[in-house]
Amino acid sequence: MKHRNRTAIITAVAVSLTPVISQAATEAEALQACISAMTASLERNNGAAIGVQIAEPSDNSSKLLHFETVFHLDAADAKTGETVAKVDCFVNSNAQVMDLKQLSLTSDTAQRRSRTST
């Protein structure tokens, strides 16, 4: 009897988790969603189309998302390499962009995480 109850409980837990696990997106999918949202936002603000190139290995993670995740994105001028925007992108476990916050390039937060600051 105890064995049957344990099996029923384990089965119930496994079945209840299946939709959650199967709906989880990968980091790569979330990153692509963030890049699309950032690009659209920058295009709206600048009135011009923007080309995108992702630094490797940023876009190849197959790790599943289980919680809200934040990606810190930098947009650089293709000719000069100068950072033109810094964006924090918040996504849920389904790779849906929940919030997109553009930082001032001179803010303390932007300076701390800058790859070009000295």
- CA distance readout (Å), 32 to 8, 35, 60: 40, 5, 10
Summarize the confidence of residues 51-58 as an average pLDDT. 65
CA trace torsion 101, 90, 81, 40 (10° rounding):
-70
Relative to beta strand 83-91, strand 97-103 is: antiparallel
Dist. CA 82–CA 46, nearest whole Å? 16
In this prediction, residue 83 carries a pLDDT of 85
Does the pLDDT at position 36 exceed 90?
A: yes
Q: Give 16's pLDDT tier (boundaries 50, 70, 90).
A: very low
Does the pLDDT at position 58 exceed 60?
A: no
Tokens of 118: 């000295």
Does the pLDDT at position 23 exceed 80?
A: no
In this prediction, residue 38 carries a pLDDT of 92
Binning the chain into helix, strand and coil, the percentages to the nearest 5 are: 40, 20, 40
Report the sign of the C-alpha dihedral through residues 61, 65, 67, 71, in that order: positive
In this prediction, residue 84 carries a pLDDT of 85
Dist. CA 12–CA 108, nearest whole Å? 49
Q: What are the residue boundaries of the structural domains of the chain, listed by start?
A: 24-112
Summarize the confidence of residues 2-15 as an average pLDDT. 47
In this prediction, residue 25 carries a pLDDT of 92
Does the pLDDT at position 17 exceed 50?
A: no
